[in-house]
Chains A and B, each alone.
Chain A
Amino acid sequence: MADVVLKNIRKSFGSVDIIKGVDLEINDGEFTVFVGPSGCGKSTLLRMIAGLEDISSGDMIIGDKVVNALPPKDRSVAMVFQSYAIFPHMTVRENIGFGLTIAKTPKAEKDLKVQEAARILQMEHLLDRRPSQLSGGQRQRVAIGRAITRKPEVFLFDEPLSNLDAALRMDMRMEIGKLHHQLGATMIYVTHDQVEAMTLADKIVVLKDGEVMQAGAPMDLYHHPKNLFVAGFLGAPSMNFAVVNVEKIEGDQITVKNDAIAETTVHVQGRSFTVGTKATLGLRPQYLSIADERDSCMMGTIVLTERLGSETILNIKLSDGSTMIAAIADDQIFKIGQSVGLTFDADRAHLFDELPSASDAAH
């Protein structure tokens, strides 16, 4: 097992920078998830760690070796692809043992390792089948099996569950989590699915446009997002953003309001604001609650309701025309067109010193 360290890693195609100086430390045995929207460079970064893409500048260190110039086979990494990439002309046994065959491992040892991988992945009965005779989930297991047998120091997963249906995806997600506990290996996992990121990761790295927006423990990112992008990307439904005016500052207590939201004081650390300027108030839908008109800090009309069983998602149009999403855990019945008051826990509110862009609003 090994640490993976990225020092000012860059990747350029001509004059276009795809990865813009990434610094990252992934600890030995850590499950790290790269997450971000399409085109953010997460897969490119993973492929650079695997050795499938050249590094334009910077240092890539796996264990105690700088691996910039090393081919994939000398990096002690194994990769699982989104498309499975299992060899259609080989049986499951041959696929799982491919890396060992290439490494000219003695047959007895290879058989043992293939059996072991098959046992871990519960696919001993499938060893003599060909990929065409397997389901999507089974094919993905073969791909994982192929990665396990060589006992690499680092496992790389490139959106491994994207091609599976929802139910299978959840099963496989749990299996990958179990596998990490079982093997204790360093794993780097790329996904655009924040549920996978939140549930699997020891550390989440949020990427946007080839830059790391924030890296840290999942709940740390969830509760203390550094910027609007991270705040909007993590959490479902996405955080609500409202542009507000800064009315008063007392130490780290900032009072804000706008046309729809009554004066509210938010506790903020690490950001500076000026009275009279605009800021963005971030409210997670889960921390909004229905209140009487008297106790509410904003009023609106329900324009859409989505009952999910455990909670109801309300789409509420506020008096200034903006929209607030609220996730209400009660079994209360709501009607479209109903007027409701909303309140929120100020301790759970976020205040950002930037204004939302179109892409932040989209999350």
Chain B
Amino acid sequence: MTQTYLNNDRLRLFVRYLVLTLIAAIFIFPLVFMVMSSLKPSQQLLIDSGSLRAFLPVGDISFDNYAAAFRRAPVGLFVANSLLITGVTVIASLFLCSLAGFSIAILNWRGKAFVLSAILATLTVPFETIAVPLLLMSSKLPWIGMEGLELGWLNTYRVQIIPFIADGLTIFLFVQYFRDIPKDLVEAARAEGASWWQVYSKVLMPLAGPIIATAAILKFLVMYNQYLWPLMVVQEEGYRPVLVGLQYFFQLNTAWGEVMAYLSMITVPVLVFYLFLQRAFIASIASTGVKG
């Protein structure tokens, strides 16, 4: 009897892993294609793309495309710009949106239901529809910097960061998460003398690991993949992010090998960030201290 159960369990486990492996393969094939293609000359890349050879490191393999990509565009600068813009936006967004979520979910104030509705309504507005008004506003906004008062935010990092710090989806994620945290924990902290800031910083945020990881991944992907907005507001090479840099490779005769090499390089930070947060996500699933 026990043996049969054991065999059934093993079979079930095998089938489960088989299905998961197949799904993983479907998702990983484009990445393998990209990396393999980045190692091949453009001619061979086009020939291989019709067969399974496209996914294998066969033929004339070299890192020539990478060297050429570096010659064609300041890859390091673009990656650094993107990481700076994305990093600052993600951190500022997590902080501000979690505070907004805390305020809406935990504090009692008049009109918060209306404010939440208004925030949720922004989710239905595509960025493209507000891009032009936002561009006009950004071009005239003042800023007090190192050189005193300036007018206009174009060709800066801040124009690529500040408009994206607060967003409806991140606020909504935090609102939902904080609402699900047992009210008793908040009240226990209050009864122990904690201020609202201490409730937020010492009780709720340490328990919000999963939602912080989720919100960070979503925000990172949105920011790292920014294309339209930086194209509109940045003309100087020094402030360009990675995706705008892709333009350097699309000319009369597109060098697909170099494109693939560039894409492979700019994909690395995304993968590292995702894998890092995925671990944090699993590690931060805290057991509840409230008996249900």
Contact = CB atoms under 8 A, between A and B. Distances in A.
Interface residues on A, range: 20 to 34
A88 B286 contact: yes
A131 interface: yes
Given A83-B182, A87-B203, A102-B194, A139 B289 contact: yes
Contact of A131 (B190, B195, B198, B287): B287
Interface in A67-87: 71-73, 77-79, 81-87
A102 B193 contact: yes
The 3 closest A-B pairs by CB, nearest first: A132-B287, A73-B193, A88-B289
Contact of A72 (B190, B198, B206, B292): B190
A139 to B, nearest CB: 7
Contacts of A81: 184, 187-188
Given A83-B184, A87-B203, A52 B291 contact: no
B191 A52 contact: yes
A50 interface: yes
Interface in B2-35: none
Interface string A34-77: 00000000000001001110000000000000000001110001
Nearest to B207: A89
Contacts of B203: 87
A130 B286 CA distance: 10
B290 interface: yes
A88 B289 CA distance: 4
Interface in B52-98: none
A52 B189 CA distance: 11
A78 B193 CA distance: 9
Given A83-B184, A88-B287, A146-B192, 4 more contacts: A87-B203, A88-B207, A88-B286, A102-B194
Contact of A85 (B187, B194, B292): B187
B288 interface: yes
Contacts of B191: 50-52, 72-73, 77-79
B87 to A, nearest CB: 25
A82 B203 CA distance: 19
A19 B226 CA distance: 56
A103 interface: yes
A163 B191 CA distance: 21
Nearest to A50: B191
A98 interface: yes
B190 A52 contact: yes
5 contacts: A78-B191, A85-B182, A85-B187, A132-B289, A146-B192
A138 B184 CA distance: 18
A88 B198 contact: no
Contacts of B187: 47, 50, 52, 79, 81, 85
A21 to B, nearest CB: 24
Given A72-B193, A131-B289, A85 B185 contact: yes
Given A84-B290, A85-B182, A87-B289, A150 B192 contact: yes
A117 to B, nearest CB: 13
Contacts of A98: 189, 192, 194
B188 A136 contact: no
B93 to A, nearest CB: 23
Nearest to A80: B188
Contact of A102 (B184, B185, B192, B286): B192
Contacts of B291: 82-84, 136, 139, 163
Nearest to B194: A102
A88 B287 CA distance: 6
Interface string A171-211: 00000000000000000000000000000000000000000
Given A83-B291, A136-B291, A163-B291, A89 B190 contact: no
A332 B286 CA distance: 56
Interface string B165-190: 00000000000000000101101111
A77 B190 CA distance: 11
A85 B287 contact: no
A235 interface: no
Contacts of B202: 102
A341 interface: no
A85 B286 contact: no
Contacts of B182: 83, 85
A186 to B, nearest CB: 16
Interface in B179-228: 182, 184-185, 187-195, 198, 202-203, 206-207
B202 to A, nearest CB: 8
Most chain B beta carbons < 10 A, residue from A77, A87, A98, A150: A87
